Amino acid sequence: MDENVAHAARAGADIEAESLRIIDAEVPEPRPFAGAEWAVVRRMIHTTADFEMLQLTRFHPRAVEAGLAALARGALIVTDTEMAHAGIPERRMTPLGCRVRCLMRDPAVAELAREQGCTRARAAVDFAVADLSPDIYVIGNAPMALLRLLEHVAAGRARPALIVGMPVGFVNAAESKEELMAQNIVPYVGVRGRKGGSALAACVVNALAEIVLAGRKEEEEHGPASDHHHPRRG
């Protein structure tokens, strides 16, 4: 690695560590989230600089456990935007054997959208459900993609391990997330209201991946731990 690149990487890591320290200091214990859930929400605050994530974030009771297990076994992750795809780096996914795909530019999806007379976001969900059976869906931009996915879930056509549902905006964004959080079939991580976005949704996967990678590193150094990460509320 070039010396300048290495120095920049170290500087970036130092800034991130200091940012997380500040977040911890500004949200003293007892916190509304603990354990792995806090690791996720802290990453969400770091990504947005928005402490309202403390009030808006919602976890299904099995969300963290299901997400960690899916990533540990090499999940297929489908995102609704290229930005979310880019926000989940290979350096985290490759060691876990995970793959990340965005179907918005796929010619088959474009053709399906034309045939159905619908948006590519909706068609991408139909294609993913029929042909890929993703383990994790990451939706940060398209409410219609989330609503369509929930239709497939309700009909029994889709059973992902986890849905990260955080579409941002003013039209159907809040409503789609409320529908996500009203169902109890598939574990989810969601954000109430209008806030969300591709970067926010992607950072949830990154936070979970960091937990899995840290656990593997600890096992390599010290052997299997006697306990495991479980989601819990503080």
**Known catalytic residue at 46:** yes
Q: Which residues contact 146 (CB under 8 A, 6 or more apart)?
A: 139, 163, 165, 167, 176, 177, 179, 180
Rounded Cα distance between 120 and 18, Å, is 40
- Catalytic residue, chosen from 7, 46, 85, 229, is 46
Using the CB atoms, write b or e for 139-151: b if 16+ within 10 Å: bbbbbbbbbbbbb
Rounded Cα distance between 234 and 227, Å, is 18
Identify any residues that bridge with 231 across adjacent strands, giving them in sequence order.
35
How far lies 201's CA from each of 157, 168, 192, in Å? 23, 10, 13
Identify whether the C-beta of residue 120 lies closer than 8 Å to the C-beta of residue 113: yes
Identify whether the C-beta of residue 124 lies closer than 8 Å to the C-beta of residue 148: no
Rounded Cα distance between 78 and 64, Å, is 18
Q: Which residues contact 157 (CB under 8 A, 6 or more apart)?
A: 129
Using the CB atoms, write b or e for 79-93: b if 16+ within 10 Å: bbbebbbebbeeebb
Q: Catalytic residue positions?
A: 46
